[in-house]
Chain A
Amino acid sequence: MTVPLLKVENLRIELATRDGVAPVIDDLSLELGVGETLSFVGESGCGKSMTALAIMGLLPEKVGRIASGHIWFNGEDLTKADDARLRQIRGNEISMIFQEPMTSLNPVYTIGEQISEVLRRHKGLSQRQAHAKAIELLDAVRIPNPQARVDDYPHQMSGGQRQRVMIAIALACEPKILIADEPTTALDVTVQAQIFDLLRDLGQQTGTATILITHDMGAVAEMAERMIVMYAGRKAEEGPVDQVIDSPRHPYTKGLISCVPHLLDTLTDERPELTEIGGIVPSLRDFGKNECLFASRCTIADEKCRANRPPEAEFDNQQRSACWHAGQV
């Protein structure tokens, strides 16, 4: 196998909380190939965004830190890279779009300036060249009349348009990796589909690999080739999207999938209108414990699950599941 574009090895991220240090990411490994789309799925607080911020080198200062593990990007360990090197990579080779398009753009600069800035910084373009390129990029993210809109301020645009501008900024330097952290959560459903289309098309054009963080199973099925299901800072399951959705190997994945509402399905006792996973996510204090953190909510958990953290079981079809009973799920 060739060297992957991005390889995260046994990553552990610790967050300083009032109750002490909590491992919000615990022993996470993953790989991302050139041009591939990988999806992170999991409920709020499971560490999806933390992983993304760690890859960007943007963990909250003095609160979060990489305790151990490596992030290899093109053979370079980003956990050892200094600030200057990380700034060269950020926005240029790895870029990110965020969940909140309404507040992610600076209100006091024109969108043209906010796009050209990144081109001037990384590609050494002149003011004029960057401005021209910004107009091209606005056109590429399908904003009508880009010539006129380039001098608009963010408050003159809708949420969907602002997210398009964010995408234009993120893809301006044709990065190798784009991290999209819940890019459509704050948007209208109709706009969501457009944004996903845009991300997919542009990703294919530029050959950019995408990490899509979401809890929208529909988006995962449509966009991604592989998916990682996260639970409480640990990887629960990983595998090709079709297989994981068809035959999940982790009780948590199974629960998540069953929670997706099916409008056209006939309702049965087994499949009522809406299902949920009973119980609650463990508190940060319990994150480091040597046990299966899902055990308290799991229907098939036994003593073994409460006594030891399950290793990842690997299946022939590239599916991996961190469950003692992965074979029975």
Chain B
Amino acid sequence: MKFLFPIAQRIFYAIALLIAVLVLNFSMLHLAPGDIADTIAQASGGADAEVIEQIRKDYGLDQPFYIQLLKYIGNVLAFDLGHSFFYNQPVTDLILEKLPATLLLVITAQILALIVGVLLGVFSARNPNGLASYVVTFLALFGYAAPVFWTGILLLIAFSLKIPLFPVAGMIDVTVEGGFFARAADIALHLVLPVITLASIFLALYSRLCRASMLEVLGSDYVRTAKAKGLAEREVVFKHALKNALSPVVTLAGLQFSAVVSGAVLVETVFSWPGLGTLALQSIIARDTPTILGILFFSAFVVIVGNLLTDLVLRLIDPRVGSKA
């Protein structure tokens, strides 16, 4: 109970936040010039004002702003994100179809960045003048400085064109036949470059933070106590020091989750990854408001869930979090 109450409170705030995000997104998109009617008219080689007005009427775009907004919120609360003008299918279906690809990319990249970042941080903190330290410094500089799409394109040139190790684009090779494992291996192969690209930024952040945090913890009194107990080096570092050093890294990873999701949009575009990012780009170009809103809503949802999970993990790592003492 003591543990659950704050979680319930968190969930309540999360729902309130989601509705606020909804209102804000809807209002901002409404302010932007152009709508689906323009796109349709453009696609059919131009149309007169009357036709455009008729299209607006068909899609309910002639209604006053607040009615459109209230209608939309009502629909979302009933788990209906509306109908895509451009793809001519329910937005929810559209998103759920693309979501797994994005989640696969985002979660793999986040896990890779965390594991490699933490390990690099630990080893460079153990030996501040060693090889790992230089790797961390280099990665940090590179990760901060290089734009994601540029990293992605460079990797494509290097490992798909010059040295053809990995496929150039997409997620699945339709010519691959076989059972589940053959398909999984195929997807994994397609996943390598996008994941490395997306992870590179966050790897830099996590390894630097973990290094700083480990350096501090390794000088602490309780690490000295652990050494005085005669524990092996491995236990002192990974059991006693690392668990304490992880808290700030987990916090940052939680905060960065939104950045990972938005970074995915760029990476998906570079690698033609059939995920939400690609969908978002296409629907923005098509001014397909319901789809854009749906994707924004889902992104907000994913980020909020990510933050909730972060909070839970922090509580598991450090018993002092959320306790009154």
Q: CB-CB < 8 A to A156: which residues of B? A: 325
Can you pick out 25 interface pairs between chain A and chain B where the beta carbons lie within 8 Å of each other?
A58-B224, A58-B227, A87-B230, A90-B227, A90-B228, A91-B228, A91-B230, A91-B231, A95-B228, A98-B224, A98-B228, A103-B220, A105-B225, A106-B225, A107-B222, A107-B320, A108-B244, A108-B318, A108-B319, A109-B243, A117-B231, A121-B230, A153-B319, A155-B319, A166-B225
- Contact flag A118-B221 (CB < 8 Å), given A106-B240, A108-B319: no
How far, in whole Å, are A83 and B233 apart by their CA atoms in the complex? Answer: 10
- Asked whether any CB of chain B lies closer than 8 Å to the CB of A78, the reply is no
B232 & A87 in contact (Cβ 8 Å cutoff): yes
Query: Which residues on B sit within 8 Å (CB–CB) of A166?
Result: 225
A219 contacts the other chain (CB 8 A): no
Question: In the complex where A58-B227, A87-B232 touch, is A106 in contact with B320 (Cβ < 8 A)?
Answer: no
Given contacts A91-B229, A107-B319, A108-B243, 19 further A-B contacts (CB under 8 A): A58-B224, A58-B227, A58-B228, A83-B233, A86-B230, A87-B230, A90-B230, A91-B231, A98-B228, A104-B222, A104-B224, A106-B240, A106-B244, A108-B244, A121-B229, A122-B230, A153-B319, A155-B319, A166-B225
Interface residue? B103 (CB, 8 A): no
- Which of B220, B228, B233, B320 is A56 in contact with, Cβ under 8 Å? B228
Contact B231 A87 (CB under 8 A): yes
Judge whether A106 and B226 touch: CB under 8 Å.
yes
Give A142-182 interface residues, CB cut-off 8 Å to B.
153, 155-156, 166, 169
Also in contact, A107 and B230, with CB within 8 A (given A155-B325, A156-B325): no
A139 within 8 A of B: no
Q: Which residues of B approach A to under 8 Å, CB–CB?
A: 220-222, 224-233, 240, 243-244, 317-320, 323, 325
Q: Are A104 and B221 in contact (CB under 8 A)?
A: yes
Return the chain A residue nearest B316 by Cβ.
A108
Q: Which residue of B lies closest to A110 (CB)?
A: B319
Residues of A within 8 Å of B244, CB to CB, are 106-108
Task: Kindly list chain A residues whose C-beta atoms are within 8 Å of the C-beta of B320.
Answer: 107, 153, 155
Complex CA gap A118/B230 in Å reads: 8
User: CB < 8 Å: which of B222, B233, B325 contacts A106?
Assistant: B222
A92 an interface residue at 8 Å Cβ cutoff?
yes
A88 contacts B by Cβ under 8 Å: yes
Q: Are B229 and A118 touching (Cβ within 8 A)? A: yes
Chain A residues closer than 8 Å to B243, beta-carbon distance:
108-109
Question: What is the CA–CA distance of A310 and B227 in the complex, to the nearest angstrom?
Answer: 37
